[in-house]
Structure 1
Amino acid sequence: MSSDGESTVAVKLFIDKENKRVLFAESDQDFVVVLFSFLTLPLGTIVRRLGKQSQVGCLDQLYKSVEDLGEDHFHTKPCKTMLLSPRNAAAGHLRRLKVQVDDIDQSQFYACSRHMGYFSSVPDVSCPFCFTNTMDKTIRDYNNPVEIFAKMRTKFIITDDLQVAPSSTGLMFSLMDKLELQEQENIEEVVLQLDSNKTVSLIARALLSKQPLTGLYFDVATTPDAATNVFQLLENLLVEVAQADEAEPMFKAIKMRLIQTNDDTLVLYAEVGHDFVELLFGLLCIPLGSIIKAYGEWSPNGCIDNLYKSANEEGCVKQECRSLLLSPKLPPFFGCSSNVLQVEELPPRRVNGYNHEMNPKNPVKVLVGHISRKVPQTLW
């Protein structure tokens, strides 16, 4: 626990004193589950927690654009809240974490004080019965926290580039050989206590650096490389057809008008419709793990995809919990109509006696289902 009473997690760092680098780390499951929880975070949450200075592509500018737009540009007032403070579909698995990355209370929901049974995950949703009243009564999800997803092991080894594996003497000696460490006296062991602020800093470094633990401990400034490879869409995101007129595409084409320089070397701006804006804004709700699943890797600048690969290896994550990290879902109603990345959306929930979750984009009566449904055809 930190000096101000905030909960922390401990991680033992093995440091090369001569070269000022973290060789690897050792910890129990408390730190490992915090690392794996990064994969469940929506992109909008990451940008917000990093103070709109994530330096990941142009996500910061996208987030600021949503902030700057007036509420009249959105389908409903709560739509803006959904984009700036997206909910986490895996929230129930994160309640027992000793360090919380998200500063949003995921157990808090909102209901109408006059009509029982109906609730929303975001405030200011209109009650379908009152019309003039909004759901402003705070309710809590009192369901017991579900089990965390890491396996119950005594220790784990984490490399500087966030590869996670069960600890063993053989693995430690293998790392020593790989790192060409001949002299044991050059290795220093330091126990680092991570609070929420340091954990958020670790996320920022993992997105942009191959050595986030070294950067965190030695407080190295992290900036993205000047040359960043452009992601390539995988084939499973596209419909392969022999003849275009014999099959319908999986997604409707989005049209835009580009204004560019005379020599065609620079796009000045684009004129687009609501479908393209909806697609862009919807990215803020997509979990980090779903981005890696869709593209096969994270940007070559960072190492967050090593966490994704580790979650798919035997020995770290419980089999029944792997899909939470490898294919994280969206909360109810947080999807958009152009589901290009094919991220599944959870069905509406029941919370503490309230059986009908409302759609903040279109507050009409929605009965709770028991199977995942398609993304609703509504606009941000």
Structure 2
Amino acid sequence: MSSDGESTVAAKLFIDKEKKMVLFAESDQDFVDVLFSFLTLPLGTIVRRLGKQSQVGCLDQLYNSVEDLGEDHFQTKPCKTMLLSPRNAAAVHLDRLKVEVDGIDQTHFYACKRHMGYFSSVPDVGCPFCGTMDITIRECSEKDTLDEIFVQSRTKFIITDDLQVAPSSTALMFSLMDKLGLQEQANIEEVVLQLNSNKLPENFLAEQADEAEPMFKPIKIRIIQSKDGTSVLYAEVGHDFVDIFFSLLCIPIGSIIKAFGEWSPSGSIDNLYKSVNKEACVKQECQSLLLSPKLPPFFGCSSNVLQVEELPPRSVAYYNHEVNPKEPVRGGTCRAYIKKGSTNFMVTDDLHISNFSLANSLKAIRAAKIPKEKLVEKELTLGKTQVLKLLRAAMLTRGALAACSCLSSSIS
């Protein structure tokens, strides 16, 4: 427990006193459960929890774009809420952690008192009949009394500085000391770290083959770039492009790693993902929850290019009709966040998305300080492979359009 009464989980850090670096940590299952829970977090939750300062590729700009874009571009008002505060399909498990990692209570739902049976996981969704959800219900787990959440109940775990997790043992400790070149125990200092909801680990943060997917429709965009290929100013895109990239904020981290094989060579989250299957750390029934996290009902987009499975509509208590927050009229099956229409959007190199206008276009050209005669415009058709490359670039760099060779090479 912290000094202000907030719950904490502890880990003992083993530090090289001479090099002043963390070698590894030892903790109980509470701390490790928190670490593994990160794999279930949607990308938008990471951005929100880090105050839009995640520094993860273009995600901060995508999040800001959702905030800035007018509600009239979305299917419904709740669509913005879904993207800015995405639900977690593993919310019942996260509710049992000793440290809150999501930042909002996701076990509460909104229901209609007049038309019993209708409810939504998103605020501001209206009942299909009376337009009001006026009571709150809570989803409870039948296993709330169990101590185990994700990991097997063990005495201690060892966590390396790059987030590899394994059951604690003398053999493993000696192996780490040999690997790290530690000859004398006197060089090691022990420090206890208390982790709460406001203090997350700082080091938290193979390309997929192109598979046939009948649901995916090629996307047309127009790229404006310097003729010499050294600078990408912006792209002019339609609702289909925006829908895919905004929906990235709802995808859990574990699903991203599953889709691309790895996240980033400089990150440690890949090692945490691989630790799920290592030496039976995680309970067997929870492995798929961490390795292939699903989306909550209705949180997918119109083109599931990353092939993340979405849970079917569910029942909570006596309420068995979950309302689609994206559906502006009763009885529809809308999957998109963004309205279809003739409106185009402007996407800058760092994936900030806004309304397309001549004013915004001229502003981008002036900022680039490139004469008009040295610019080129070209229409491109992006297939699934190219969209996947661009999505990956969005998580690895802050200049996704320029970094994605599938775009720049087409204009050379």
TM-score (norm 2): 0.78
Quote the Cα distance in structure 1 between the aligned partners of 2:301 and 2:314.
19
Of residues 275, 279, 298 in structure 1, which corresponds to 2:244?
Answer: 279
Aligned length: 335
The equivalences for 1:1-380 within 5 A come to 1-130=1-130, 133-145=131-143, 148-199=149-200, 202=201, 204-207=202-205, 233-235=207-209, 237-239=210-212, 251-362=216-327, 377-380=335-338
Q: Does the Cα contact within 8 Å between 2:276 and 2:290 map onto a contact in 1?
A: yes
Q: Does the Cα contact within 8 Å between 2:225 and 2:233 map onto a contact in 1?
A: yes
Q: Does the Cα contact within 8 Å between 1:127 and 1:363 map onto a contact in 2?
A: no
Q: 1:120 to 1:287 in 2, by over 3 A?
A: same
Name which of structure 1's ranges 356-365 and 94-103 shifts more when overlaid on structure 2: 356-365
Quote the Cα distance in structure 2 between the aligned partners of 1:193 and 1:377.
42
Quote the Cα distance in structure 2 between the aligned partners of 1:65 and 1:346.
27
Cα deviation for residue 197 of structure 1 reads 1.2
Cα deviation for residue 70 of structure 1 reads 1.4
SS for the counterpart of 1:255 is strand
Percent identity for Structure 1 against Structure 2: 78
Quote the Cα distance in structure 1 between the aligned partners of 2:335 and 2:321.
19
SS for the counterpart of 1:197 is coil
Q: 1:376 to 1:319 in 2, by over 3 A?
A: farther
Note the alpha carbon deviations across 1:239-296, whole angstroms, 9 max, x for none: 3xxxxxxxx7562211111111122332211111111000000000000000011111
Q: Does the Cα contact within 8 Å between 1:238 and 1:250 map onto a contact in 2?
A: no
Letter of the 2:255 counterpart: S
Cα deviation for residue 194 of structure 1 reads 1.1
SS for the counterpart of 2:125 is coil
Cα deviation for residue 314 of structure 1 reads 2.6
Quote the Cα distance in structure 1 between the aligned partners of 2:143 and 2:52.
30
Q: Does the Cα contact within 8 Å between 2:75 and 2:328 map onto a contact in 1?
A: no
TM-score (norm 1): 0.84
Q: Does the Cα contact within 8 Å between 1:95 and 1:145 map onto a contact in 2?
A: no
Cα deviation for residue 134 of structure 1 reads 2.9
Q: Does the Cα contact within 8 Å between 2:112 and 2:134 map onto a contact in 1?
A: yes
SS for the counterpart of 1:314 is helix
Show structure 2 runs of 5+ residues with no match: 339-412
Quote the Cα distance in structure 1 between the aligned partners of 2:314 and 2:15.
47
Note the alpha carbon deviations across 1:294-323, whole angstroms, 9 max, x for none: 111111121110000001223211111100
Cα deviation for residue 127 of structure 1 reads 1.4
Letter of the 1:124 counterpart: D
Letter of the 1:291 counterpart: I
Letter of the 1:49 counterpart: R
Show structure 1 runs of 5+ residues with no match: 208-231, 240-247, 367-374
SS for the counterpart of 1:60 is helix
Cα deviation for residue 142 of structure 1 reads 3.4
Q: Does the Cα contact within 8 Å between 2:298 and 2:335 map onto a contact in 1?
A: no
Q: Does the Cα contact within 8 Å between 1:356 and 1:365 map onto a contact in 2?
A: no
Quote the Cα distance in structure 1 between the aligned partners of 2:329 and 2:105.
25
Quote the Cα distance in structure 1 between the aligned partners of 2:114 and 2:247.
32
Q: Does the Cα contact within 8 Å between 2:76 and 2:328 map onto a contact in 1?
A: no
Q: Does the Cα contact within 8 Å between 2:15 and 2:23 map onto a contact in 1?
A: yes
Quote the Cα distance in structure 1 between the aligned partners of 2:226 and 2:93.
50
Cα deviation for residue 22 of structure 1 reads 1.0
Note the alpha carbon deviations across 1:115-137, whole angstroms, 9 max, x for none: 2110000111121111xx33242
* Runs of 4+ residues deviating >3 angstroms: 142-147, 363-366, 375-380
Letter of the 1:141 counterpart: E
SS for the counterpart of 2:193 is strand
Note the alpha carbon deviations across 1:27-53, whole angstroms, 9 max, x for none: 111000100000000000000000000
Q: Does the Cα contact within 8 Å between 2:327 and 2:334 map onto a contact in 1?
A: no
Q: Does the Cα contact within 8 Å between 1:118 and 1:354 map onto a contact in 2?
A: yes
SS for the counterpart of 2:182 is coil
Letter of the 2:174 counterpart: F
